[in-house]
């Protein structure tokens, strides 16, 4: 950027700081200032115009140690922008695009600058979501499917596995060539390091950008983190890439925006949040979507915002706001976690409003059948609690649902392809695992992944693709069961 004197010569407007309140200061003067314009103090501190009051200009600043009363402030006639570059892949950045890892500076010659608050695509540019977005998490992909360009909220109590599901989705999509951006909003530095370590372990860091602000950063920097992540996502989308963005988490974002609003003396509303909190976060969500580009190609930004609940309460103010502005939600339930289910996704309280339209006829039939089975089992379990004697048929339904829940159990480092998920579900439906325990089923699934990666199941995958009905699918899996047993049987030296 230029210096204070140069900007003054260009704009011929100068103001004076009248009051300073933490990360906010008020300037008298600057009659032509505009929202989101950058201003500069004579000490070189940069701020962003956030409100135009009758007599004053409200400015948000990222570091206020050098500010004093009556200090001169000048307009720059420039708007706040963040850099975006292909060189950002594999790096950890702050919301300003500055590298925070140990790999050195990024060449600024590769930068493209983008406005941090670009307008959302028009309705005319949006197209129907038809491509599936596989997360690699079986319980999600089978029961609550997602599509490319969808906005799906992940919510649940602290430490129940919300971030794990988002990370598995990143691993699954990065392997398919999707550009992935993980934004950590006001998190601990150890959390940022943990995310980096996981992505390195899964060998997908090179296709991912980590944008992070720590809890020790100024509130304005934390507030801008999701906007910065979306601006970078738009850069890659405009270059013809599909993008997956995870915002972890928007509950924290809302709290820091509330802090800034209270400092600005705006009238507080429900739970002291400002009246425009829905608008602020909806603007972020609306920038995602399945978009028809000028080249007539369809590219997408898929958004997975995360929100925190308290004791499984889905009726919180921010939580219901986010549900209203997204295309569904995955509820990670602490009650399911207590039953040793991982991921602890509640299939009854999770919704995907557009994911079903991305699936084949067979996949829809499988999901319908499994939902029916789980619902019947829940109903039977409720009856059993009242001491009602259950029939053998009802007991069979309950045992089947327990087997299915064991099939859905999945470690964080196990990311399953769509084809392998169908094989696993097919084995369950053909009663292949009826005589096995949950631990044996999990061990078999891990072996199946290795066998699949070796290409030994390619022929079976082609046969499944030709199936149109559930009965055809079951017949194919019953026929394939003996050969699968041979493939995953332990070697002789393992006995």
Q: What is the 3-state secondary structure (H, E, C) of 389-438?
A: CCCHHHHHHHHHHHHHHHHHCCCCCCCCCHHHHHHHHHHHHCCCCCCCCH
Q: Which two tokens stand for residue 259?
A: 């802090």
- Please state, as a whole number, how many other Cβ atoms lie within 10 Å of the Cβ of residue 230: 30
- Comparing CA positions, the residue from 312, 301, 258 lying closest to residue 281 is 258
Q: Which two tokens stand for residue 7?
A: 């900007």
Burial of 216: CB neighbours in 10 Å, binned 0-12, 13-18, 19+: exposed
Q: Give Cβ neighbours of residue 155 (< 8 Å, ≥ 6 apart).
A: 162, 306, 307, 308, 309, 314, 319, 322, 329, 330, 331, 332
Asked if 287 is an active-site residue, the reply is no
Q: What is the DSSP letter of 24?
A: E
- Comparing CA positions, the residue from 23, 494, 439, 76 lying closest to residue 224 is 23
Q: Which of 131, 194, 266, 353 is labelled catalytic?
A: 353
- Please state, as a whole number, how many other Cβ atoms lie within 10 Å of the Cβ of residue 124: 7
- Please state, as a whole number, how many other Cβ atoms lie within 10 Å of the Cβ of residue 89: 16
Q: Which amino acids are annotated catalytic?
A: 353
């Amino acid at each position: 950027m230029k210096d204070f004197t140069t900007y003054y010569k260009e704009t011929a407007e100068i103001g004076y700081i009248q009051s300073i309140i933490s990360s906010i200061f008020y300037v008298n003067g600057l009659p032509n200032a505009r929202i989101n314009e950058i201003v500069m103090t004579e000490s070189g501190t940069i701020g962003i115009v956030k409100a135009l009051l009758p007599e004053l200009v409200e400015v948000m600043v990222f570091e206020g140690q050098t500010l004093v009363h009556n200090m001169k402030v000048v307009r720059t006639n420039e708007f706040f922008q963040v850099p975006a570059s292909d060189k950002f892949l594999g790096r950890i950045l702050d919301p300003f695009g500055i590298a925070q890892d140990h790999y050195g500076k990024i060449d600024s010659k590769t930068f493209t600058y983008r406005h941090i608050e670009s307008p959302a695509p028009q309705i005319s540019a949006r197209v129907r979501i038809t491509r599936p977005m596989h997360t690699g998490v079986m319980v999600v992909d089978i029961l609550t499917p997602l599509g490319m360009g969808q906005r799906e909220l992940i919510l649940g109590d602290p430490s129940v596995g919300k971030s794990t599901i988002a990370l598995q989705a990143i691993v699954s999509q990065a392997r398919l060539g999707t550009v992935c951006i993980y934004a950590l909003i006001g998190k601990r530095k150890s959390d940022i390091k943990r995310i980096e370590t996981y992505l390195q372990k899964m060998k997908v860091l090179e296709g991912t950008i980590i944008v992070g602000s720590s809890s020790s950063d100024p509130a304005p920097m934390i507030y801008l983190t999701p906007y910065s992540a979306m601006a970078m996502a738009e850069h890659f989308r405009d270059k013809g890439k599909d993008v997956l963005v995870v915002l972890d988490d928007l509950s924290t974002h809302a709290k820091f925006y509330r802090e800034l609003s209270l400092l600005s003396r705006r009238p507080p509303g429900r739970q002291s949040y400002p009246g425009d909190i829905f608008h602020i976060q909806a603007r972020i969500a609306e920038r995602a979507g399945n978009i028809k580009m000028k080249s007539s190609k369809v590219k997408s930004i898929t958004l997975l915002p995360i929100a925190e609940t308290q004791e499984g309460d889905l009726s919180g103010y921010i939580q219901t706001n986010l549900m209203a502005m997204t295309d569904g939600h995955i509820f990670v339930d602490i009650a399911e976690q207590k039953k040793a289910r991982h991921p602890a996704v509640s299939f009854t309280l999770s919704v995907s409003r557009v994911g079903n339209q991305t699936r084949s006829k067979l996949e829809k039939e499988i999901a319908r059948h499994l939902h029916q089975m789980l619902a019947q089992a829940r109903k039977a379990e409720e009856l059993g609690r009242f001491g009602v004697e259950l029939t053998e048929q009802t007991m069979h339904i309950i045992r089947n649902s327990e087997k299915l829940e064991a099939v859905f159990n999945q470690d964080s480092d196990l990311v399953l392809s769509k084809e392998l998920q169908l094989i696993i579900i097919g084995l369950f439906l053909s009663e292949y695992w009826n005589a096995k325990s949950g631990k044996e089923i999990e061990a078999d699934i891990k072996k199946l992944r290795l066998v699949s990666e070796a290409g030994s199941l390619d022929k079976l995958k082609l046969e499944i693709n030709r199936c149109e009905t559930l009965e055809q699918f079951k017949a194919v899996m019953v026929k394939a069961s003996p050969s699968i047993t041979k493939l995953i049987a332990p070697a002789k030296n393992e006995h």
